[in-house]
Amino acid sequence: MPRASADLLLAKTRRLLQPSVGLQELGFDLDALGFDVGVEGFRLGRTRGYGGERPEIILCAEGAYPSASENILELRIEALPVGYLLRAL
């Protein structure tokens, strides 16, 4: 993924973690207040629905340090609303 695309995806995801934005864009709050996704917060996975054959990118948001830093919220990029991702910040 090009650096500019990754930076934009991170910025949009950070906003989506805010309760009001999540509610507006998803129809529900992600309950992720205090979580943050950083540049190291990407991992590759395999989509179960396709027999584990199709690779996917998963964003990993960490809980607030130090009290909740062991908590990880995983967000599949494919599950994020396309219309939201395409809109300007």
Percent of the chain having pLDDT more than 90?
26
Q: What is the residue whose two structure tokens read 């943050």?
A: 36
Nearest-angstrom CA–CA distance, 26 and 70: 26
Whether residue 22 is predicted with pLDDT greater than 80 in this model: the reply is yes
- What is the reported pLDDT for 50? 60
Average pLDDT for residues 6-23, to the nearest whole number?
A: 91
pLDDT of residue 1: 76
Q: Dump pLDDT digits (tens) for 23-52.
A: 999 999 888 888 999 888 888 887 776 666
Give residue 64's pLDDT.
82
Angstrom distance (rounded) from CA 34 to CA 89: 21
Evaluate if pTM is beyond 0.85.
no
Where are the chain's structural domains? 3-86
